[in-house]
């Protein structure tokens, strides 16, 4: 990596020239850097807000799952079977599913070689279990913090190999270049978060042949979120230069605690805690679930099932299914503005004559489960202590004592299956820009639990391999780069100066803008959607983006990072709402982890009111047979397009033919 300075306009900026710039330090970004290094590339620079930030490092769950091909015992599996299962999730390209399946075991064994403690027996069998949307026992876990263990191992290795990392830098713009009708990325601009007070506003430039974007999920656009606080996301960087997003409609939502962000799945629900709501000041306590279920037995069954039916799923509404719990929490929090709590100190009560808690009134599945766990105990917290004591200790370590206090919850955004569109080498339509990890929208509608981490590992390794084999050239000279980057850098510099000058005239406050974005996304672009509301909120979102471009303002230079973040998120949220509107306009119905309200729908949703109805998406619906993309056109207007779903390719696996193509380099392009 070469560090110089470059003059653009009247200012001088630090300039890093590299073959590959890696943005972010989550599991995907760090893996990309390491694989590139394995393949001999040394001109790498990792730039990140902070090593130890992001979802991989800071999120986890009861048993954080890593999905891979089955390798133990007599479990039958094959790459094609796995690809078919990924593909069956809907709106996922078959060639990408095949790559994710074929790359699964190499990626997994890289992790075991790095020392990630995935459980195995004395003969070396990595036993698996079944996760959601999986029937092959492909899932494994290294405990509640699997992805953190991955990041820590990668970070150790990155340091050991002395791959340079620039921390405390926030990338605020990518630099595109149009040549012969193709747009490619040639670098990036970041804010050095410790230097925004300087004359240069802390701007740092990167001259790169390739940019790997591992900036994670769009956590910062939601008010109700179980993404860690350290994750915000930066999709706007890519949208701004015309990179298309795909499947932006498809995110996962579920019940989580908000004071300390944690998914409340597994035993937290299986012990059947009491749900109650209050007004904003904690008064007017109400056991609102009783209003949504005819009796205690059905209520308790739905709560119990929520344990292993965690994400909201419209297919689990009928027959008093577990998703009614999410909808009733949504009604209390989003529609009625109340607060909702899980109380482990007392048993729930239902409606009707047999309303009180009684083990004999429990659904046989729930009762049997508790009995076999030796947990037919008087209160939810006693049952939790018996079945999963670490679940109590985890909250205690974050200052929340489930024995003494209720836990505030909401229905929260957890993961985006969509993201930036890319090909089988994880390269965007903007050439040499490689979105890897959650920012890449490779998943379809339903994904097996744990496949996000698999996809992040496979995709980042494939991007690195492609770069090492095809784009290994040196970056251009600083003078050439300066001539390419001049206009873009001036634009970003000008933005920073306007934000600062605007502070004196009281323009748009970034924190206020972020609050507006988040409120809007949680109310209209999350688990419950309808066309009328989306029509309105999409307009509001674009208007906020335009206002953000014109009038975001800060009172001091140390607030510039927040202003750039607000601008990024204003664009990201507008693109997401644009996608949702297009989906609904084309007749898109309920699927994945969201409900589309439709007065003509054949299924009632009493949880949301007497007239609320929906219908589930069908396999022959127009949107089910395609993938929706959204991008900004050259004049900055959103453009939607429906692309055909590519099937799983039929490959010729005759060894001699594969060998001959391999020798000709065909395996890496």
Ligand X SMILES: Cc1cc2nc3c(=O)[nH]c(=O)nc-3n(C[C@H](O)[C@H](O)[C@H](O)COP(=O)(O)OP(=O)(O)OC[C@H]3O[C@@H](n4cnc5c(N)ncnc54)[C@H](O)[C@@H]3O)c2cc1C
> What does the binding site for ligand X look like in residue numbers (CB under 6 A)?
23-29, 47-49, 53-56, 59, 61, 64-65, 147, 170-171, 214-217, 226-227, 231, 234, 263, 414-415, 437-438, 449-453, 456
Nearer to ligand X, 300 or 407 (CB): 407
- SS3 state at 640: strand
- Taking the alpha carbons of 342, 53, 415, 523 in that order, is the dihedral positive or negative? positive
CA angle 457, 441, 631 (to 5 degrees): 140
- SS3 state at 415: strand
Contact yes or no for 441/416 (Cβ under 8 A):
yes
Nearest of 244, 221, 242, 224 to residue 233 by alpha carbon: 221
Nearer to ligand X, 451 or 537 (CB): 451
Minimum Å gap between C-beta 57 and ligand X is 6
Nearer to ligand X, 137 or 615 (CB): 137
Nearer to ligand X, 230 or 643 (CB): 230
Q: Is 596 left (phi over 0), alpha (psi -120 to 50) or beta?
A: beta
Minimum Å gap between C-beta 452 and ligand X is 4
Inter-CA distances, 609 with 218, 286, 312, 327, Å: 31, 18, 18, 11
Nearer to ligand X, 183 or 415 (CB): 415
Minimum Å gap between C-beta 185 and ligand X is 14
66-98 burial by CB neighbour count: b if 16+ within 10 A, else e?
Answer: bbbbbbbeeeebebebbbebbbebbbbbbbbbb
Q: What is the C-alpha R_g of the chain?
A: 25
CA 557 remoteness from chain centre:
30
Minimum Å gap between C-beta 154 and ligand X is 10
Nearer to ligand X, 263 or 347 (CB): 263
10 Å Cβ neighbour count for 3? 13
CA angle 315, 316, 321 (to 5 degrees): 155
Minimum Å gap between C-beta 217 and ligand X is 6
Q: Which residue do the tokens 């965007």 mark?
A: 428
Nearer to ligand X, 27 or 271 (CB): 27
| Cα(18)–Cα(7) distance, integer angstroms | 18
Minimum Å gap between C-beta 412 and ligand X is 9
Nearer to ligand X, 88 or 351 (CB): 88
CA angle 434, 59, 171 (to 5 degrees): 40
Nearer to ligand X, 28 or 421 (CB): 28
Minimum Å gap between C-beta 283 and ligand X is 31
Minimum Å gap between C-beta 339 and ligand X is 21
Minimum Å gap between C-beta 256 and ligand X is 7
| Cα(1)–Cα(47) distance, integer angstroms | 13
The DSSP string of 66-88 is: EE----STT----HHHHHHHHHT
10 Å Cβ neighbour count for 199? 9
Contact yes or no for 126/132 (Cβ under 8 A):
no
Minimum Å gap between C-beta 457 and ligand X is 9
Inter-CA distances, 126 with 11, 146, 182, Å: 57, 15, 46
Nearer to ligand X, 193 or 472 (CB): 193
Nearer to ligand X, 18 or 584 (CB): 18
Minimum Å gap between C-beta 634 and ligand X is 24
Nearer to ligand X, 206 or 296 (CB): 206
Q: Which residue do the tokens 């035993």 mark?
A: 267
10 Å Cβ neighbour count for 162? 9
Minimum Å gap between C-beta 611 and ligand X is 34
CA dihedral 583, 586, 587, 590 (to 10 degrees): -10
């Amino acid at each position: 990596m070469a560090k110089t300075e470059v003059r653009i306009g009247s200012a001088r900026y630090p300039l890093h020239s590299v073959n590959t710039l890696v943005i972010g330090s989550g599991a995907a970004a760090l893996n990309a850097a390491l694989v590139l290094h394995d393949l001999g590339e040394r001109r790498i620079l990792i730039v990140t807000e902070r090593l130890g930030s992001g979802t991989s490092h800071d999120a986890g769950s009861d048993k954080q799952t890593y999905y891979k091909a089955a390798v133990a015992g007599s479990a039958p599996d094959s790459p094609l079977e796995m690809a078919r299962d990924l593909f069956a999730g809907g709106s996922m390209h078959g060639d990408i599913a095949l790559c994710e399946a074929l790359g699964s075991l190499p990626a997994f064994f890289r992790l075991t070689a790095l020392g990630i403690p995935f459980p195995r027996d004395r003969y070396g069998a990595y036993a698996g279990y079944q996760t959601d949307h999986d029937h092959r026992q492909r899932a494994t876990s290294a405990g509640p913090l699997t992805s953190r263990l991955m990041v820590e191992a990668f970070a150790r290795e990155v340091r050991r190999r002395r791959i340079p990392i620039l921390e405390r830098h926030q990338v605020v713009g990518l630099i595109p270049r149009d040549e012969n009708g193709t747009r490619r990325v040639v670098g990036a601009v970041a804010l050095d978060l410790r230097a925004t007070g300087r004359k240069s506003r802390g701007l740092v430039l990167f001259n790169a042949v390739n940019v790997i974007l591992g900036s994670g999920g769009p956590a910062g656009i939601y008010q109700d979120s179980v993404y860690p606080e350290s994750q915000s996301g930066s999709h706007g960087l890519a949208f701004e230069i015309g990179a298309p997003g795909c499947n932006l409609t498809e995110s996962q939502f579920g019940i989580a605690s908000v004071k300390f962000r944690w998914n409340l799945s597994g035993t937290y629900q299986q012990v059947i805690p009491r749900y109650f709501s209050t007004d904003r000041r904690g008064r007017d306590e109400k056991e609102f679930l009783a209003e949504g279920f005819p009796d205690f037995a059905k209520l308790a069954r739905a709560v119990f099932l929520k344990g292993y039916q965690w994400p909201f799923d419209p297919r689990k509404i009928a027959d008093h299914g577990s998703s009614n719990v999410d909808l009733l929490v949504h009604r209390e929090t989003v529609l009625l503005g109340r607060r909702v709590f899980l109380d482990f100190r007392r048993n729930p009560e239902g409606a009707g004559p047999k309303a009180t808690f009684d083990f004999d009134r429990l659904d046989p599945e729930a009762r049997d489960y508790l009995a076999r766990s030796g947990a037919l105990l008087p209160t939810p917290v006693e049952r939790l202590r018996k079945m999963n004591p670490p679940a109590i200790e985890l909250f205690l370590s974050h200052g929340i004592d489930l024995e003494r206090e209720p836990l505030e919850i909401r229905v929260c955004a957890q993961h985006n299956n969509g993201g930036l569109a890319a090909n089988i080498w994880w390269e965007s339509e903007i050439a040499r820009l490689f979105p890897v990890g959650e920012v890449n929208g490779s998943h379809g509608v339903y994904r097996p639990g744990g496949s996000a981490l698999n996809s992040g590992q496979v995709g980042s390794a494939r991007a690195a391999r492609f770069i090492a084999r095809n784009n290994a050239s040196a970056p251009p000279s600083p003078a050439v780069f300066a001539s390419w980057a001049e206009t873009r850098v001036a634009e970003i510099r000008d933005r920073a100066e306007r934000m600062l000058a605007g502070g004196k005239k009281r323009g748009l406050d970034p924190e206020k803008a972020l609050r507006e974005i988040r409120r809007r996304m949680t109310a209209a672009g999350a688990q419950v959607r309808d066309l009328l509301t989306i029509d309105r909120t999409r307009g509001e979102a674009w208007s906020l983006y335009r206002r953000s471009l014109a009038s975001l303002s800060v009172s001091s230079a140390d607030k510039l990072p927040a202003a750039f973040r607000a601008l990024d998120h204003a664009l990201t949220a507008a693109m997401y709402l644009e996608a949702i509107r297009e989906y609904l306009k084309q007749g898109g119905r309920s699927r994945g982890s969201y409900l589309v309200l439709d007065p003509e729908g054949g299924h009632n949703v009493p949880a949301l009111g007497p007239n609320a109805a929906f219908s589930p998406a069908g396999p022959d619906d127009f949107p089910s047979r395609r993938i929706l993309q959204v991008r900004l056109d050259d004049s900055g207007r959103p453009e939607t397009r429906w692309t055909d779903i590519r099937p799983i390719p039929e490959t010729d696996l005759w060894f001699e033919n594969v060998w001959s193509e391999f020798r000709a380099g065909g395996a890496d392009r």
